[in-house]
Amino acid sequence: MKIMITIFFFLISTTLFAQNIVEFRGTNRSGQYNETGLLKQWSKSGPKLLLKIEGVGKGYSQPIYVDGKIFISGIKEDTTDILSAYNLKGEMLWETPYGRSWTASYIDSRSTPTFENGNLYVASGTGQMNCIDAKSGEVIWHVDASKKYHGEIFKHGDAECPLVIKNAVLYTTGGEENTMVALSKTDGSLVWKAKSLGGAKSYASPVLIHYKGKDIILAQTSENLIAINADNGEIIWSYDLKQYHKHKLGVGAQTNPPLFFNNEIFVASGYEHPGIMLSLSDDGKSVQLKWLNYTIDTHHGGVVLVDGNIYGSTWDNNAHGKWASVNWETGKTNWETAWKNKGSIISADGLLYLFEEKRGNVALLEPSTDSLKIISTYKIEFGTGPYWAHPSIYDGKFFIRHGDFLMIYNIKDD
């Protein structure tokens, strides 16, 4: 297992580590956190709570942690998205408004900031892109990207976590004019545009993969999975995802970052849409369907790949779901099991971490193709609203956000 994970990190993230990027869902948005020496079980009350911060703002976004500082987005007043920085004493270092929040439905901040070389990139719920100095909180540049480039935001707002590549930061516009724009990291000016293939922008954040010496962006609109040349914005290929949206709900709702491994791409999006495995051609200029799996229709909690198997939650309806494991190579379902409810999942140090979305139950799991093997559980007692923020792990610390509260636990095996 450790060999496979090491190869996985090497294939997809060598460039990212060189750029010192910290972003949504860990290494290349895979749900994997490169941590070792973590606790193999917890007490009945859960791991030790190191810090609880109230007042981070209402949000479904994930906290990130860099060089002793916590960065988190949230709505603190009216309809403004605000990015805040805290130290590990819980003291606020700065807070900066960065755009209009989404107010039509589920009114919480959505975008997890991306850190790279001293700067933070974050998008508001209405599509305003920002570069913010991580030390001072000063806005370096601000672009109303959705408005300026005639984007089309899908039904429940802009949830994109900006993707940083070489000299640019990316924003998926969707709409009838463009699919995506690359903005200069220096001043927000346009570097390139990718043409439109139709459809609004989705909720899923894009992913950068490195394949046969080329940097390729995997972006999702409400209709397609699209491969884009990272150097110039040219569309390499597209795959129709909407063809599988047969349920009356969720038509056009792509919700999770794709997983890439071993020249293959996996996407899932809830609503009885199948989990889809695609194989890249040798030259990377096309894909073909490898398999469909109708069990692992993960809603918006992400999926992880551990030792050749995919783990994630399943969708029964918007309020309920189970958990499942599927073999990456064959698409065969290993198991599907009910535990509390559906939710988000991440992985670190060979273990799985589940965060159930309805009542805030947290579980530590041993990955297994036989069954759902729960080691320890506890329950989050602070905050209000759905438990939709994905947890994260940095420096042996487990970060969980629920609404206006951020909790940090020690999960290091000292």
**pLDDT tens for the chain, residues 1 to 414:** 444 443 444 344 434 434 589 999 999 999 999 999 999 999 999 999 999 999 999 999 999 999 999 999 999 988 999 999 999 999 999 999 999 999 999 989 999 999 999 999 999 999 999 999 999 999 999 999 999 999 999 999 999 999 999 999 999 999 999 999 999 999 999 999 999 999 999 999 999 999 999 999 999 999 999 999 999 999 999 999 999 999 999 999 999 999 999 999 999 999 999 999 999 999 999 999 999 999 999 999 999 999 999 999 999 999 999 999 999 999 999 999 999 999 999 999 999 999 999 999 999 999 999 999 999 999 999 999 999 999 999 999 999 999 999 999 999 987
Backbone φ, ψ for residue 363 (5° rounding): -135, 145
- The whole-angstrom separation of Cα 118 and Cα 141 is 14
For the domain that residue 229 is a member of, what is the CATH number? 2.130.10.10
Q: Side chain identity at 392, as an amino acid letter?
A: S
Cβ–Cβ under 8 Å, residues 72 and 61: yes
The number of distinct structural domains making up the chain is 1
**29: which DSSP letter?**
G
Pairing of strands 343-348, 32-33: parallel
- Determine the Cα–Cα distance for residues 291 and 332; give it in Å rounded to an integer: 9
Q: Tokens in use for 384?
A: 């209000």
Position 209, amino acid:
I
Q: How far apart are CA 41 and CA 43, in angstroms?
A: 7
- Torsion over CA: 85, 87, 88, 92 (sign): negative
Phi, psi (deg, nearest 5) at residue 310? -95, 135
Contact 261/208 with Cβ under 8 angstroms?
A: no
* DSSP character string of 153-216: B-TT---PPPEEETTEEEEE-BSSSEEEEEEETTT--EEEEEEP-SSBB-SSPPEEEEETTEEE
DSSP state of 174: B
Please state the φ and ψ torsions of residue 365, each to the nearest 5 degrees.
Answer: -125, 150
Domain of residue 351, residue span: 2-410
Any idea what the Cα angle at residue 326 is, between residues 321 and 331, rounded to 5°? 125
pLDDT at 27: 94
**93 conformational bin, left if phi > 0, alpha if psi -120 to 50, beta if neither:** alpha
Residue with tokens 């940083």: 164
Residue type, 203: Y
Find, among 26, 8, 20, 45, the residue nearest to 112 by Cα: 26
- The model's pTM: 0.94
CB neighbourhood size of 266 (10 A): 24
